[in-house]
Amino acid sequence: MIDVDTDLSSLRRHLESAGVDGYLIDDDATDSDQRYVSGFTAPDPFQTLVTDDGVHLLVSGLEYGRAKSEADAETITRRSAYDYRELVAEHGAYGGKIRTIAAFLEDHGVDSISVPRNFPTGTADGLREQGIDITLESDGIVEEIRAIKADEELEAIRESQRANEAAMACAEELIASADVDDDGTLIGEDGEPLTSERVTEEIEVTLLRHGCGLDDTIVACGADGADPHNRGSGPLEADELIVIDIFPRNKETGYHADMTRTFARGDPGEEARRRYDVTREAYEAALATVEAGVTGAAVHDVVCDVIEDAGYESLRSDPSTETGFIHSTGHGVGLDVHEQPSVSPAGGELEAGHVISIEPGLYNPDVGGVRIEDLVVVTEDGYENLTDYRVGLEPTN
């Protein structure tokens, strides 16, 4: 965990305008809002209450000691303080949990709360039955707060990005140094076909050696790469586009990085090269547009302009297209790999401190996929690129 000086003032203004006593999160620390507001990680759900007078945690006895030393909270209370086990014995696991949370709220003088969109309906309906008034906070205020990165968060993201670059270099080298079999299959140093799975494994081991884990990696060749969410499988081929998208998460800080490069050994053909050039032009045009005050939608439009001008479809020119530019230009990156702000038709104004990906791409099963992605932090007059990795179709080692 890194110690972030969180500014919850906009959340407290919301409490006042909504006329409620507190804001409640009921989740484990895989929920990034929970992790950010509580400053605490635990594998099982716990409750974080934000009131005018501070942040208050309700945790199991098992987590109490660690919460006391790690959490960023004014008070930390164990469930046993509200007779949790007795309540579970009387009302079952679900009824006991609800009554324990209700007692915790009462203890803090709270009888009305607002909750995030992903707040469990079970807890909401249960607390309503206990007489707690519940309002939905549907704007995602905590996500908005999280979108602006403090210096220590930027440092954490940079650290993840360094790991990302080491892993990408490892993957690029494997592809660059592979032999090419008569049938076009890339052959690794061990004489076996170089597969997506093999490259992914080396990427992930490299990330682990740099303190990062990850949920998934994309090493997708040929038609696999034309589906932006396909992770790729099987032997890599010469003369085909290979999309490599790596989004590691530092295991200690929890912050992500995100980067994509597209490579081809041999000659992927004129159309593939043209698509690479158009994608690169769109990527450069998007970057040139990024600055505080510009909307994510405007940055996305610039990408659509370049792509449509080159004669390809986008979801803007054809909302039902399955080829061309079929996703958003980018997204915020932080504790979540996809978070606010959005660089898409729905994207609002960018602000200094937003960390976003810029990742145009072009897809067609007959040609393959191209995607080029950097990670940048928005500044008042442009951006700082957090990515230090060459853009180029031909892999080098």
Binding site for its own copies (CB under 8 A): 30, 42-44, 61-66, 80, 85, 88-89, 92-94, 115-126, 134, 136, 138-139, 201, 204-205, 208-209, 213-216, 227-230, 315, 319-320, 322, 326-327, 337-338, 342, 345-346
Which residue lies nearer to its own copies by CB, 73 or 393? Answer: 73
Which residue lies nearer to its own copies by CB, 80 or 397? Answer: 80
Which residue lies nearer to its own copies by CB, 86 or 380? Answer: 86
Residue reference for tokens 């790999």: 337
Q: Which of 362, 347, 358, 346 is nearest to 382 (CA)?
A: 358
Which residue lies nearer to its own copies by CB, 13 or 117? Answer: 117
Question: Quick one: angle between helices 296-309 and 270-289, nearest 10?
Answer: 150
The residues, ordered by sequence, that sit 6+ positions from 151 with a Cβ below 8 Å of its Cβ are: none
CB of 116 to its own copies, least distance (A): 7
The residues, ordered by sequence, that sit 6+ positions from 168 with a Cβ below 8 Å of its Cβ are: 203, 244, 246, 259, 261, 389
CB of 85 to its own copies, least distance (A): 6
Which residue lies nearer to its own copies by CB, 193 or 365? Answer: 365
The residues, ordered by sequence, that sit 6+ positions from 233 with a Cβ below 8 Å of its Cβ are: 195, 196, 197, 224
Q: Which of 11, 10, 8 is nearest to 114 (CA)?
A: 11
CB of 380 to its own copies, least distance (A): 26
CB of 276 to its own copies, least distance (A): 21
φ/ψ of 96, rounded to 5, equals -65, -40
CB of 183 to its own copies, least distance (A): 25
Q: Which of 72, 99, 74 is nearest to 85 (CA)?
A: 99
